[in-house]
């Protein structure tokens, strides 16, 4: 379940419990049961996510061991393609534009203006996913699963 919804759902559950159980002791016991259910659900979800991550790591290791380049080399290939597109878009093309606009002729400027600009909005999720940069790491740190870096 989305961690942003757990708090409000818990508050709604507490409100319902307080209305159904006017006795403070019974209400406290029902709230404790609600918290236990939430904790068990979170732990079960964390365990399933950990199991999935372990299976993915095992798959990655087996793929890397494979002798066929089409099995073991697809991740590095995707990484190099993404890195080349990133370097072209953010390093090579701006550098060329600077030198041509500064020192070039009108013909060179016209030719460079026709240079293709890559659409990085579709490539960046692949690159960031391969690098492991996503909001999941931040969520794990907020939940306390991963200690914050110092």
Distance CA 70, CA 66 (A): 9
Q: What is the pLDDT of residue 121?
A: 84
1 or 60, which is more confident: 60
45-49 long-range contacts, Cβ below 8 Å, gap at least 24?
45/1, 46/145
Q: What is the pLDDT of residue 42?
A: 65
Distance CA 107, CA 91 (A): 22
Residues 6+ apart with CB under 8 A from 96: 112, 115
Q: What percent of the chain has pLDDT above 90?
A: 6
Model-level pTM? 0.45
127-150 pLDDT, tens digit per residue, is: 777 776 656 666 666 776 666 565
Q: What is the pLDDT of residue 86?
A: 87
Which sequence spans correspond to the domains of the chain?
1-68, 73-150
At residue 92, φ and ψ (nearest 5 deg) are -65, -55
58-109 pLDDT, tens digit per residue, is: 877 777 777 777 666 777 777 788 888 889 988 999 999 899 888 888 888 8
Q: Are 120 and 89 in contact, with CB atoms under 8 Å apart?
A: yes
Distance CA 46, CA 35 (A): 16
27-72 pLDDT, tens digit per residue, is: 677 777 777 776 666 666 667 777 788 887 787 777 777 777 766 6
Q: Are 41 and 2 in contact, with CB atoms under 8 Å apart?
A: no
């Amino acid at each position: 379940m989305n961690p942003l919804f757990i708090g409000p759902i818990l508050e709604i559950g507490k409100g319902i419990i307080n209305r159904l159980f006017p006795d403070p002791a019974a209400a406290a016991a029902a709230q404790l049961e609600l918290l236990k259910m939430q904790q068990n659900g979170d732990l079960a979800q964390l365990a399933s996510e950990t199991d999935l991550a372990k299976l993915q790591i095992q798959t990655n290791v087996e793929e890397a061991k494979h002798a066929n380049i089409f099995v073991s080399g697809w991740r590095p290939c995707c990484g190099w393609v993404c890195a080349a597109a990133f370097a072209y878009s953010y390093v090579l093309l701006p550098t060329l534009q600077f030198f041509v606009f500064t020192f070039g002729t009108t013909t060179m400027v016209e030719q460079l203006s026709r240079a293709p600009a890559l659409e990085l909005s579709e490539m960046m999720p692949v690159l960031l996913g391969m690098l492991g940069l996503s909001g999941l790491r931040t969520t794990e740190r907020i939940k306390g699963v991963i200690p914050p870096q110092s």
